[in-house]
Structure 1
Amino acid sequence: MTLSENLDCTLQHSLPSLSHFSELIDLNWIKESLHQTGKASIRRRKLPAEHVVWLVIGLALFRDQPIGYVVEQLKLVFGTTEYCVPSAAVQARQRLGREPLNTLFSLLSQAWFEESQQQYSNFHGLSVCAVDGVVWSMPYTDENFEHFGSSKGKTAAAPYPQVRATCLVNTSTHEIIDAQIGSMDQGELTLANRLCPPSHSITLFDRAYFSADFLIDWQTRVEASHWLMRAKDNLRYEIIKRNSPHDFQIKMPLSARARKLNPSLGEYWEARLIEVEQAGKIRRYITSLMDSKAYPLIGLAKLYAQRWEIEMCYREIKSDLQEGKHLRSKQPDLIYQELWGVFIAYNILRRQMKHMAQRAKVSPLRISFHIASIGILNILRFDSLDSAGNLPKHLESLLEKSKRYVLPERRVRSCPRVVKGKPQKYPRKCQSIS
């Protein structure tokens, strides 16, 4: 046997294996994301690019652990030793950059959403989605503060840098379909313009996204991509057709500024306005679903309540997955990389919970994210990953116990908004009881 053949044989026996993670992410997707971004490892390091991808995901799954622990726990080191110094792991993250994680997130989210879309298109054959923005804090460094900035208050800016993201979420499963990340000087609507609307869906927006240019583009970019939002109180419109006493087809004027920014827009654009009495008040909604017979107004008004699911999604990420802590990276490029890792990690957990819900024959939203995520992470934390068959076996055992993680039906509660009292400048006088 020649020297080159001996080297090839040795390399084949010593190549690091991630086969034990294939139950969570198909390894071909990781290879594809590295190939598309030109980040595949040619030189065999202690932490090859494929392993660094899992390191970033692991940092999101184990937010309370240092980077060295995550490397050791997930057995990511290539070679005879299971340990590498933390600085080597940081350098490996810097070499990888943010693009592979961004590409991997896109591949996974689209594939998994298509899978969910076949099962949870529960509004007249349309998938229900929601869009909203969210802000994360990060460690203070001059580089982070200069790149991302911070939120501005009435008197001063926040003393720590922050990053903004706008996400498109499947309200039936809480899976993140698409996301855009930017600095604080970019508004939610600016980031939302870069999102890819899913076909055969209805997306729920709050009133901050009311923009003729944005909404027209959203409903025309792909087939059957509709939207629904609360109507502004000062909405200017003219009734074209009355479908019922509280259901109208309307046309709205476009501002001169909107026509200047997009000359293809006409002077008016059309939508459907509905009025529904809820809790003694008249609520108005505006939508691109023009067929009043196929989409009754009562159903649309009730559907809008699902917009709150995206807020629940953000709470699960921040409070449970991230344990209420800020991001850990100290460089802008690593902040982007870390956030893409957080989105991927969250979708991995949510996908497993979707399988648990199917086994328990309930909605995915009735699986306790807090308890189920602990169960999934404990498998990665405590069980042996030396064999490729161990993880599927443990996950199957978890699926068999799915009914233990089912929450009771959500109660119908109404919490009216109240004005928060202003703090008094001076403390109240103590009143004697006598």
Structure 2
Amino acid sequence: MSRSRFVGAPLSVQCATAGVVRDRSWVWLPGHLGALTRWIPPVLVDEVLDAAGRREQRVRLLPARVVVYFVLAMGLFGDCGYRRVRSALTAGWPRTVVADPSAAALRQARRRLGAKPLALLFDRLRGPVGTTATPGVFWRDLRLVAWDGTCLEVPDSPANVACFSRHAARTTRPAGYPQVRLTALVECGTRALVDAVFGPQQYTELPQARALLASLRPGMLLLADRGYDGFEALRDACATGADVLWRVQSGRLLPVIRPLSDGTHLTVITDRRSGDRLTRWMRRGRHGPMPANLTALTLRVISYQVTVTAADGSARTSTVRLVTSLLDPHRHPASELASLYHQRWEIESAYYGLKVTLRGPDRVLRSRTVEGVEQELFALLVLYQASRRAITEAATTAGLDPDRLSLTIALYTVRLTVINASTAGPTLLHAVLVQARNLAPTRRRSRTSPRCVKRTLSPYAYNKTKGSVGHKTAVTTTITLTNPP
């Protein structure tokens, strides 16, 4: 994984191969992405094309580098067809200067390119982007990261149905669009993608998360919800050298091996065979030494209650139980860890930015082939990561928390710079992002929203959820630590 910064050149010097094609250097003019060209420069695109073996033998009207930028622009202008996306890339020049290929020619160029160059491009851009100077990225010298899964809809074509399949439905009707399951590892402080994998939705989140273990490093604190509760997952995550702070089932039996001074306690999590031996030892009243050769993991258990009080005085309380590899109660207080766990919701904000802010609400991917879906999804991941890099750099320079900078405003600005063919846009982008009127409040409002079906099978069923979709209520949240049973 490369973490170096690439600085893009102006359009006048982007044509690195212009000397070869001489009077046909105009074919390279659409090879840009506006303000994001700094983070996705032509030099980097040429590198991934060479690595993927997709460089052209002779210069065509649609060189491979230009097609890469065209695929990326498809993600920026998701509501536009091929010709309108191409027009956005070439709007800065007279029509007599650049070619106007047909939609069929653009479609064939996408197929020639394939998905591998975009996959390699994402591999170059992914990774943590926050530094020690970026507010909100570290807690007690630990970088906060989280992983979780989500699904995206793809077109209902025979190829997509055969590969990705539909999700199960309770009715006899077909269950909507086929879906791709995406699992990502996100840096909580910046919402940048450390790594991501995707595949057919019938694969559960846990096997996909195992593919992300290689991206964990010592000095990271991994947050996860109850869906990843299990000995093997905890063992493999701790084996990477990273620390964990995971939620587990509140009714799970976790033996109290040793109580700690702050009301938490140490426990031992084992596999099934070692667990049976440990249970028999505890039932004997712990007489004699603990069984030897246990495949076990020593963790610290933190239990607390979360009370959510609405403005009308109604309240509801839920019990949360966490396990962590941070065993020292003095160095890592339980009260701070209980509040820190809710940073896991930053990955939900990241998914909202990827699926709604960038792609558009209720929008299905446009590709009707499996390789096209992979290419389009990698392009969305590249766009999202480049935008997060730009936001984080602007926030770090201004000494602001990246949470206060708007991804929506960043994408609107990038679209304008693409249409204007301005690659000198990073300065403009930074200036727009840090304007006081564009910043989010310093402290977030505490709100809650009911769970409901966002996409129904029947269009008439929308009226049943119309009043609750997006309806948020201001609340007051209280966290109270509880002692172990």
SS at match of 1:135: strand
Contact 1:273 1:286 in 2 (8 A): yes
C-alpha distance in 2, partners of 1:109/1:42?
Answer: 30
Match of 1:407 in 2: 440
Q: How does 1:131-142 map to 2 (within 5 A)?
A: 131-142=147-158
SS at match of 1:177: strand
Match of 2:254 in 1: 237
Evaluate the alpha carbon distance shift between residue 417 and residue 65 of structure 1 in structure 2; reply closer, same or farther with a 3 A threshold: closer
Contact 1:148 1:182 in 2 (8 A): yes
Evaluate the alpha carbon distance shift between residue 258 and residue 164 of structure 1 in structure 2; reply closer, same or farther with a 3 A threshold: farther
C-alpha distance in 2, partners of 1:54/1:67?
Answer: 13
Q: What is the CA deviation profile of residues 159-183 of structure 1, one whole-angstrom value per residue up to 9, with x for unaligned ones?
A: 3211111011111111111110100
Q: What is the CA deviation profile of residues 276-296 of structure 1, one whole-angstrom value per residue up to 9, with x for unaligned ones?
A: 343265432111222222211
Evaluate the alpha carbon distance shift between residue 242 and residue 216 of structure 1 in structure 2; reply closer, same or farther with a 3 A threshold: same
Match of 2:102 in 1: 85
1:294 aligns with 2:331: yes
Q: What is the CA deviation profile of residues 325-377 of structure 1, one whole-angstrom value per residue up to 9, with x for unaligned ones?
A: 11111101110110111111112222222233234432111112223321232
1:357 aligns with 2:395: yes
Contact 1:379 1:394 in 2 (8 A): no
- The 10-residue stretch of structure 1 (169-178 or 28-37) with the greater mean CA deviation from structure 2: 28-37
Q: How does 1:329-340 map to 2 (within 5 A)?
A: 329-340=367-378
1:208 aligns with 2:223: no
Match of 2:296 in 1: 268
Evaluate the alpha carbon distance shift between residue 409 and residue 85 of structure 1 in structure 2; reply closer, same or farther with a 3 A threshold: same
- The 10-residue stretch of structure 1 (408-417 or 156-165) with the greater mean CA deviation from structure 2: 408-417
Q: How does 1:244-323 map to 2 (within 5 A)?
A: 244=261, 246-255=263-272, 266-279=294-307, 282-323=319-360
User: TM-score scaled to structure 1, two decimals?
Assistant: 0.83
Evaluate the alpha carbon distance shift between residue 8 and residue 36 of structure 1 in structure 2; reply closer, same or farther with a 3 A threshold: closer
C-alpha distance in 1, partners of 2:76/2:299?
Answer: 43
How much is the aligned-residue C-alpha RMSD, in angstroms? 3.1
Match of 2:4 in 1: none
C-alpha distance in 1, partners of 2:318/2:18?
Answer: 74
Contact 1:129 1:168 in 2 (8 A): yes
The CA deviation at 1:198 is 2.8
Match of 2:460 in 1: none
2:45 corresponds to which of 27, 30, 33: 30
| Identity over aligned pairs, percent | 27
C-alpha distance in 2, partners of 1:124/1:313?
Answer: 23
1:103 corresponds to which of 113, 120, 138: 120
The CA deviation at 1:82 is 2.7
Evaluate the alpha carbon distance shift between residue 207 and residue 85 of structure 1 in structure 2; reply closer, same or farther with a 3 A threshold: same
Q: What is the CA deviation profile of residues 31-89 of structure 1, one whole-angstrom value per residue up to 9, with x for unaligned ones?
A: 22222222222221222221222112111111111122222322399x95331111111
Match of 1:14 in 2: 24
Contact 2:229 2:247 in 1 (8 A): no
Match of 2:480 in 1: none
1:130 aligns with 2:146: yes
Contact 2:262 2:334 in 1 (8 A): no
C-alpha distance in 2, partners of 1:117/1:153?
Answer: 47
Q: Which amino acid aligns with 2:394?
A: M
Evaluate the alpha carbon distance shift between residue 125 and residue 351 of structure 1 in structure 2; reply closer, same or farther with a 3 A threshold: same
Evaluate the alpha carbon distance shift between residue 393 and residue 14 of structure 1 in structure 2; reply closer, same or farther with a 3 A threshold: farther
The CA deviation at 1:123 is 0.8
Contact 2:130 2:392 in 1 (8 A): no
Across the two proteins, how many residue pairs are aligned to each other?
Answer: 400
C-alpha distance in 2, partners of 1:330/1:352?
Answer: 31
SS at match of 1:65: coil
Evaluate the alpha carbon distance shift between residue 68 and residue 258 of structure 1 in structure 2; reply closer, same or farther with a 3 A threshold: farther
C-alpha distance in 2, partners of 1:407/1:309?
Answer: 15
The CA deviation at 1:269 is 2.5
Gapped regions of structure 1 (runs ≥ 5) = 1-6, 260-264, 421-434
Contact 1:72 1:82 in 2 (8 A): no
The CA deviation at 1:116 is 4.1
C-alpha distance in 1, partners of 2:202/2:195?
Answer: 21
Q: What is the CA deviation profile of residues 183-225 of structure 1, one whole-angstrom value per residue up to 9, with x for unaligned ones?
A: 011111111111133322111111001122122112212x3x1
Q: What is the CA deviation profile of residues 81-108 of structure 1, one whole-angstrom value per residue up to 9, with x for unaligned ones?
A: 3311111111111111111111110111
Contact 2:130 2:189 in 1 (8 A): no
Match of 1:146 in 2: 162
Contact 1:253 1:268 in 2 (8 A): yes
Evaluate the alpha carbon distance shift between residue 35 and residue 416 of structure 1 in structure 2; reply closer, same or farther with a 3 A threshold: closer
The CA deviation at 1:298 is 0.9
Contact 1:237 1:250 in 2 (8 A): yes
Evaluate the alpha carbon distance shift between residue 276 and residue 396 of structure 1 in structure 2; reply closer, same or farther with a 3 A threshold: closer
Evaluate the alpha carbon distance shift between residue 242 and residue 197 of structure 1 in structure 2; reply closer, same or farther with a 3 A threshold: farther
Q: Which amino acid aligns with 1:361?
A: G
Match of 1:44 in 2: 59
- The 10-residue stretch of structure 1 (197-206 or 27-36) with the greater mean CA deviation from structure 2: 27-36
1:398 aligns with 2:432: yes
SS at match of 1:203: strand
